[in-house]
Amino acid sequence: MMWYDGGWGWGGWLFMTMFMVLFWALVIAGIVALVRYLTGARHDRQSGRPLSSGEPGWGSRRAEELLAERFARGEIDEDEYKRRLALLREHR
């Protein structure tokens, strides 16, 4: 006796194949999106870009950090550092 597969025929195999490819494509896309989201958030904090552009005072804080880094590297002296820091804080 021959086994009858419930009447799906070739259409059933085609549907199941397409569904399997779609399922795995969505799983892979979800994993990629999650990895990009997680690494993107960390990258934004490391690069100094604001996570939200409406964050108040962000530019002056970053400018102060850069100024402190230049002072620590010896690119500017203490008087220059204090003068520029006062200017930055004056314009907040």
Each residue's pLDDT tens digit, 8-20: 677 788 889 999 9
Helix ranges, 1-92 (H): 9-47, 58-73, 78-90
24 is a domain residue: no
Q: Flag whether 74 is in a domain.
A: yes
How would residue 59 be classed by pLDDT, with cut points 50, 70 and 90? low
Task: Calculate mean pLDDT across residues 20-49.
Answer: 81
How many CB atoms are located within 10 Å of the residue 62 CB? 13
Q: Is the pLDDT of residue 53 over 50?
A: no
Count of domains for the chain: 1
**Whole domain around residue 65: which residue ranges?**
60-92
**Would you say residue 92 lies in a domain?**
yes
58 and 50 in contact (C-beta within 8 Å)? yes
pTM of the model: 0.40
Mean pLDDT, the chain, as a whole number?
79
